[in-house]
Structure 1
Amino acid sequence: MLKRLNTVRYTYIRSLLYGLFLTTVTLLAILLSVFVLFQPGWLDVTSIFITILLYICLGVFISIYVGFKSSSDMKDRMDYLSVLITQLSRGNYTSRVYFSEEDEIARIGDELNELGEKLQNQVRSLQRMADERAEYAKSAHKAATIEERQRLARDLHDAVSQQLFALTMMSQASLRLFDRDPAQAREQLEEISATALKAQTEMRALLLHLRPVDLSGQPLKKGVQELVAELRQKCQINFQLKVEEIEALSATAEEHLFRIVQESLSNTLRHANATEVTLQIVERHNELFLHIADNGSGFDVNTDERKKTSYGLKTMKERCEEIGGTFSIRSQVGAGTHIDIRIPL
């Protein structure tokens, strides 16, 4: 009931009744002043109060009638505006309202019509941008695939190919020395064994990059667990794994984090000579914490040694920043490497 009394129609009626009250008080004051000062014969207390009472009754009736009549048009126009706003809020940006009057309400209607047109144009722009973004994503995927292939080819040439060539040369030299100097041939065989092990490690790291770029619909926890399980079968590394199920993480963020883990483990296999790796993905205080550490050889982050893993570290940092995270790395020669990533949820 109280809410109904706050409508435009009742506001009109209240304003008219308030004007009636002020007019009544003024008229009563004038009549009483004339009666007290001049005391005319035609004016007495009874006639004053009868006049005021009739004036109030007539004024109340007229105020209610005029209030209803004059507010009907205003209420209808306000209802039109309310319907238009509701339609705009529901996404129907083609709705319009038109008034023949030239007042403030008509101006508000014109501004709402202009707003609907702008919203409609923005929706068209967003749809066009979505289409362009999809095409750009396809082009970017192709470019990334080509870049990754070129990188793998370069790594195969720079690392595995040279090691295989060295193995060939050392094995041929060992065959020639086998009869003349067995001791030296034994030393070269040991070098061949170490080089072969290093080439095998390089190849495993490169094969790690040939895994699917995305999680193929799997959650991050399962994808990381399968990745580590595969490495456990192929590498003599002790993995300490702790991965929590994080529901607030988007699919895009999961894919980026999976690729960061993949890149980090690849660097560990190729450069760290580690025997133990710790991998943690946990949620703390509306943030995701990713911690990767190894007990490998480490490196000085301020020297040229970092160039060995600079490409992978740059890629991890860029992926982290794309999903709004922070990336930090700590490493010392002989003390392993620690990577810490924080992603707000």
Structure 2
Amino acid sequence: MRKNPKNGTMKFSLRSLIWVPLTFSIGFALSASLIVIQARDDIREELESATHVAKSLALLIEYDRIGAQEAKNLQFRHIRISTQPPHLVNQSLNVSMPSWLANWTLGDVGSDWQKYSIHLDPVQMWTVYATPEDELDEVWESLTSTFFVFLVSALLCIALIQFGLNDVLKRMRQFSRAMTEMRDGHLETKLPETSPIVELQAIARQFNATTLILKQAREDNKSLSISLINSQEQERRRLGSELHDNLGQIIAGLRARVYLLNIQTQSEMSASGLETLKSVSDELEEAHRVIRNLITELDPMDLQTVNLNEALNQICMKWMQVTYIECELEASCEVSPAITLVAQEVVHIIRIVQESLHNIYKHSNANKVTVSLVNTRDYLDLKIEDNGVSSKELKSGYGLRSMQVRAKELGARLRIQKHSTGVTVHLHKTHQRAHSNELLDC
């Protein structure tokens, strides 16, 4: 129930604990003010009446119409009889309420009231006077009663609010936790749809329906991503096979023909012709090398027989031969127990490495790349780091999106960070359990 320092908001329970007492306090203050204002007029009227009674009583006592002691023993409202002469009578208020409140209640009525002397004999003088003490005590009783009524009402109101909104606050907390879990991707979260409040039932039903829709959409996206990746892999293999069986064979045949032509016509051909024939042979050799590299990139190896470490080593070697950029592989894998990967997982990792190397060659202007792999019992950690400097900002193109999709299929976290000394592609996967089929060693 603390205040949130970020935006100044607070919990509803704390807000009710503040606003309800504040509202009742304002109500009590207004009621008390009305009581005091009304009491001020009543005191003025009562004092005027009591002053006349005090004057009459003083005359009755002085003329022996009533005994002084008998009159003193009588209880007169708003009237006091003192055995002291007027100049010695202490008229300070003797009331239950605080003096400041008494003075405020009296207002312009004041505290110096008319005193009437009673001459009992030549040496003895009593005093009769009116006082607002009784009226002030009544006002104080009214104020205290009103205060306790407001206090009990405020406590009951807070209790009823807390009791009445307990289910609402509980459901709101559940809804907040469910929204947090949904934001984090946990779409299995459900809210109970049973509640005495119709609005809460509607919110729960809407939330559960939304999670079902999102879950289905995520499953559809996942299926689509898998289909696209599988189609991509099939197309890669088809193109690799087509290049190998058709264009590769054609270039190999041309190379053989040029070689035979060179042998058959070497003695008859001029020097310029031989030079041209050699140039054609070199270009065919380069074309054959490029075709082999394309075939290797499209379908690098038989992943059913080659483990991840060997695959990465071959990729680095081939990449260095094509780009002339140094590529260093650092691999560390536990042997016992061996952490194994499904063939499809190895494909995803290899494609992420290939896409990263392709981006480095295309954008980074690097002269050294480090591929580091750590595969332990608990996790797999892959980093591709270069020392290039690129002026282009990282954009979410097809290649990066493909890497993200493959990382999700791996159940891994992919981060791409650009810094002053190059770009780092970091893939981290936490191992869940050993797979039951198609296992490949690290």
Answer yes or no: is 1:86 the counterpart of 2:173. yes
Distance 1:183 1:28, change over 3 A: closer
1:33/1:217 CA distance change after superposition, 3 Å? farther
Q: 1:97 to 1:33 in 2, by over 3 A?
A: farther
- Classify 1:97/1:73 alpha carbon distance in 2 versus 1 (closer, same or farther; 3 Å): farther
Residues 33 and 151 of structure 1: CA distance in aligned 2, closer, same or farther (over 3 Å): same
Structure 1 pair 182–193 and aligned structure 2 pair: CA distance change class (3 A): same
Q: Which ranges of structure 1 fall in alignment gaps of 5 or more residues?
A: 100-108, 245-252, 268-275, 283-287, 294-315, 327-339
User: Hey, what's the Cα distance between the residues in 1 that align with 2:366 and 2:17?
Assistant: 75
CA-to-partner distance for each residue in 1:158-199, whole Å, 9 max, x for gaps? 743332221232233334325655968965467435523541
Aligned twin of 1:28? 36
1:15 to 18, 23, 33: 23
Alpha-carbon distance in 1 for matches of 2:2, 2:244: 81
Q: Secondary structure at the match of 2:192?
A: coil
Query: Is 2:399 the counterpart of 1:319?
Result: yes
Q: What is the rounded CA distance, in whole Å, between the counterparts of 2:295 and 2:360 in structure 1?
A: 11
Q: What is the aligned partner in structure 1 of residue 49 from structure 2?
A: 40
- Counterpart residue number, 1:207: 296
TM-superposed CA distance for 1:81, in Å, is 1.2
Hey, what does 1:169 align to over in structure 2? 257
CA distance in 1, matches of 2:21, 2:367: 77
> CA separation in 2, counterparts of 1:290 and 1:213?
28
Give the 3 Å change call, closer, same or farther, for CA 291–242 of structure 1 in structure 2: same
CA contact (8 A) 1:237 1:277 kept: no
Deviation sequence 1:37-79 (CA, Å, 0-9, x none): 7823376511221111111222222223333334332211222
Distance change (3 Å), C-alpha of 1:320 and 1:165: same
Count of aligned pairs between the two proteins: 277
For the residue of structure 1 that corresponds to 2:300, the secondary structure is coil
TM-score (norm 1): 0.59
**Deviation per residue, 1:111-130 (Å, 9 max, x gap):** 44322222111211222223
Q: In the alignment, what sits opposite 1:196? A: 285
Distance across 2 between alignment mates of 1:15 and 1:35: 30
Corresponding residue for 2:367?
Answer: 278
Structure with greater proportional helix content: 1
Closer, same or farther: CA 170–323 of 1 in aligned 2, 3 Å: closer
d(CA) in 1 for partners of 2:397, 2:159: 65
State the shift of 1:210 in Å. Answer: 1.8
Q: Does the C-alpha gap of structure 1 residues 243 and 112 become closer, same or farther in structure 2, counting only changes over 3 Å?
A: farther
Which structure has the bigger radius of gyration?
A: 2
| Unpaired runs of at least 5, structure 2 | 4-12, 51-76, 79-130, 179-188, 331-347, 372-383, 390-395, 405-414, 417-421, 426-442
Residue number among 355, 365, 368 corresponding to 1:260 in the alignment: 355
- Report the secondary structure of 2:325's partner residue: strand
Deviation per CA, 1:62-107, whole angstroms, max 9, x where unpaired?
22333333433221122211111122233364325645xxxxxxxx
Partner Cα distance (1:148, 1:133) in 2: 22
Mapped contact 2:255–2:285 kept (Cα < 8 A): yes
Tell me what 1:302 maps to: none
AA matched with 2:208: Q
Question: Which amino acid is 2:251 matched to?
Answer: Q
Q: What's the C-alpha RMSD, in Å, of the aligned pairs?
A: 5.2
User: CA 1:189/1:121 → structure 2, altered by over 3 Å: closer, same or farther?
Assistant: same
Q: When the two structures are superposed, what TM-score results if normalisation uses the length of structure 2?
A: 0.48
Q: 1:146-165 to 2 correspondence within 5 Å? A: 146-156=234-244, 159-165=247-253
With over 3 angstroms needed to count, the CA separation of the structure-2 counterparts of 1:25 and 1:79, relative to structure 1, is: same
Aligned to 1:138: 226
Residues 228-266 of structure 1: per-residue CA shift (max 9 Å, x gap): 24545xx3864245899xxxxxxxx98775233454699
Q: Which deviations, in whole Å up to 9, do the C-alpha atoms of 1:10-43 show, x marking residues without a partner? A: 7545533432332222222222234447823376
CA contact (8 A) 2:258 2:281 kept: yes
Quickly say closer, same or farther: Cα 1:170–1:266, change in 2 above 3 A.
farther
In the alignment, the residues of structure 2 paired with residue 13 and residue 78 of structure 1 have an alpha-carbon distance, to the nearest angstrom, of 17
Q: Does the 8 Å contact 1:88/1:95 carry over to 2?
A: no
Q: Secondary structure at the match of 1:90?
A: helix
Distance 2:133 2:307 in 1: 93
Structure 1 stretch displaced more, 85-94 or 154-163? 154-163
- Matched-pair identity in %: 7
**Structure 1 contact 12–67 (Cα < 8 Å) conserved:** yes
Amino acid at match of 2:298: H
Contact conserved, 2:2 with 2:14, CA < 8 A, in 1? yes
Aligned partner letter, 2:236: E
Q: Would you say the 8 A contact 2:369–2:387 is kept in 1?
A: yes
Superposition pairs of residues 209-224 of structure 1, within 5 angstroms: 209-211=298-300
Pick closer, same or farther for the CA change 1:141–1:341 going to 2, 3 Å. same
Deviation, 1:292, is 7.1
Find the aligned partners of 2:366 and 2:22 in 1 and give their Cα distance: 79
